[in-house]
Amino acid sequence: MGWEEKQVRGYPEFVQTAQRYHGRPIFALFCGDKDAEGKSWCPDCVTAEPVVRKELHNMPDESVFIYCLVGDRAYWKDPNNEFRKNLKLTGVPTLLKYGTDPNSYCSVLTVEVIRICQTLNKL
Protein backbone atom coordinates (compact mmCIF):
# COMPACT_ATOMS: atom_id res chain seq x y z
CA MET A 1 0.00 0.00 0.00
CA GLY A 2 1.57 3.26 -1.13
CA TRP A 3 -0.80 5.48 0.89
CA GLU A 4 -1.80 5.77 4.52
CA GLU A 5 -4.99 6.45 6.46
CA LYS A 6 -5.53 8.68 9.47
CA GLN A 7 -8.80 8.88 11.40
CA VAL A 8 -9.64 12.08 13.24
CA ARG A 9 -12.59 13.69 14.97
CA GLY A 10 -13.30 17.40 14.91
CA TYR A 11 -11.85 20.38 13.16
CA PRO A 12 -8.73 20.88 15.33
CA GLU A 13 -7.62 17.26 14.81
CA PHE A 14 -8.28 17.54 11.09
CA VAL A 15 -6.18 20.70 10.76
CA GLN A 16 -3.35 19.23 12.82
CA THR A 17 -3.28 16.07 10.71
CA ALA A 18 -3.50 17.92 7.39
CA GLN A 19 -0.62 20.17 8.45
CA ARG A 20 1.46 17.17 9.49
CA TYR A 21 1.22 15.78 5.95
CA HIS A 22 1.71 19.09 4.14
CA GLY A 23 3.34 18.52 0.76
CA ARG A 24 1.68 15.17 0.14
CA PRO A 25 -1.59 14.61 -1.72
CA ILE A 26 -4.39 14.50 0.85
CA PHE A 27 -7.87 13.10 0.36
CA ALA A 28 -10.24 13.86 3.23
CA LEU A 29 -13.65 12.27 3.73
CA PHE A 30 -15.90 14.20 6.12
CA CYS A 31 -18.75 12.24 7.70
CA GLY A 32 -21.12 12.50 10.64
CA ASP A 33 -20.13 10.99 14.00
CA LYS A 34 -20.90 7.34 14.67
CA ASP A 35 -22.87 5.84 17.54
CA ALA A 36 -21.80 3.01 19.86
CA GLU A 37 -22.65 0.47 17.16
CA GLY A 38 -20.49 2.29 14.62
CA LYS A 39 -23.33 3.77 12.56
CA SER A 40 -23.33 7.42 11.53
CA TRP A 41 -26.31 9.68 12.19
CA CYS A 42 -25.95 10.69 8.53
CA PRO A 43 -27.57 8.13 6.19
CA ASP A 44 -25.71 9.49 3.16
CA CYS A 45 -22.43 8.96 5.03
CA VAL A 46 -23.38 5.35 5.70
CA THR A 47 -23.91 4.96 1.95
CA ALA A 48 -20.79 6.87 0.87
CA GLU A 49 -18.14 5.36 3.11
CA PRO A 50 -18.02 1.88 1.52
CA VAL A 51 -18.10 3.41 -1.98
CA VAL A 52 -15.10 5.61 -1.17
CA ARG A 53 -13.21 2.86 0.67
CA LYS A 54 -13.64 0.54 -2.29
CA GLU A 55 -11.62 2.98 -4.42
CA LEU A 56 -8.84 3.88 -1.98
CA HIS A 57 -6.47 1.48 -3.70
CA ASN A 58 -6.48 3.91 -6.65
CA MET A 59 -4.95 6.76 -4.66
CA PRO A 60 -1.50 7.90 -5.78
CA ASP A 61 1.55 6.68 -3.87
CA GLU A 62 2.45 8.80 -0.85
CA SER A 63 -1.17 9.98 -0.50
CA VAL A 64 -2.85 10.39 2.84
CA PHE A 65 -6.52 9.56 3.37
CA ILE A 66 -8.01 11.42 6.32
CA TYR A 67 -11.32 10.06 7.57
CA CYS A 68 -12.79 12.91 9.59
CA LEU A 69 -15.85 12.74 11.82
CA VAL A 70 -17.40 16.21 11.91
CA GLY A 71 -19.38 15.83 15.13
CA ASP A 72 -22.93 15.10 16.14
CA ARG A 73 -25.95 16.22 14.12
CA ALA A 74 -26.63 19.32 16.23
CA TYR A 75 -23.03 20.54 15.82
CA TRP A 76 -23.06 19.86 12.08
CA LYS A 77 -26.35 21.74 11.60
CA ASP A 78 -24.94 24.85 13.30
CA PRO A 79 -24.11 27.24 10.42
CA ASN A 80 -21.19 28.59 12.47
CA ASN A 81 -19.37 25.29 12.97
CA GLU A 82 -15.70 25.33 11.99
CA PHE A 83 -16.09 22.98 9.04
CA ARG A 84 -18.74 25.19 7.47
CA LYS A 85 -16.96 28.46 8.25
CA ASN A 86 -13.37 27.52 7.50
CA LEU A 87 -13.62 24.81 4.84
CA LYS A 88 -16.93 26.00 3.38
CA LEU A 89 -18.40 22.50 3.63
CA THR A 90 -22.08 22.52 2.85
CA GLY A 91 -22.89 18.88 3.44
CA VAL A 92 -21.67 15.51 4.56
CA PRO A 93 -20.41 13.30 3.17
CA THR A 94 -17.84 15.39 1.36
CA LEU A 95 -14.57 14.16 -0.08
CA LEU A 96 -11.93 16.83 -0.58
CA LYS A 97 -8.70 16.52 -2.48
CA TYR A 98 -5.86 18.74 -1.35
CA GLY A 99 -2.81 19.26 -3.50
CA THR A 100 0.58 20.27 -2.25
CA ASP A 101 -0.80 23.77 -1.56
CA PRO A 102 -2.80 23.42 1.68
CA ASN A 103 -4.85 26.52 0.83
CA SER A 104 -6.28 24.96 -2.32
CA TYR A 105 -8.72 22.10 -2.35
CA CYS A 106 -11.59 20.87 -4.40
CA SER A 107 -14.65 18.88 -3.53
CA VAL A 108 -14.58 15.64 -5.48
CA LEU A 109 -17.57 13.89 -3.99
CA THR A 110 -21.07 14.97 -3.24
CA VAL A 111 -24.20 13.12 -2.29
CA GLU A 112 -25.35 13.37 -5.91
CA VAL A 113 -22.21 11.57 -7.14
CA ILE A 114 -22.78 8.81 -4.57
CA ARG A 115 -26.33 8.30 -5.82
CA ILE A 116 -25.16 8.15 -9.44
CA CYS A 117 -22.54 5.52 -8.49
CA GLN A 118 -25.18 3.47 -6.69
CA THR A 119 -27.49 3.62 -9.70
CA LEU A 120 -24.72 2.55 -12.06
CA ASN A 121 -23.78 -0.35 -9.78
CA LYS A 122 -27.38 -1.62 -9.99
CA LEU A 123 -27.35 -1.74 -13.80
Measured CA to CA, the distance from residue 64 to residue 21 in angstroms comes to 7
Q: Indicate if 45 belongs to the active site.
A: yes
Closest CA to 31 of 66, 57, 5: 66
Residue 74 CB contacts under 8 Å (≥ 6 apart), including other chains: none
Give the active site residue among 31, 45, 106, 117. Answer: 45
Give the active site residue among 31, 42, 68, 106. Answer: 42
The reply to whether omega before 60 is within 30° of 0 (cis) is no
Q: Indicate if 117 belongs to the active site.
A: no
As annotated, the active-site residues are 42, 45
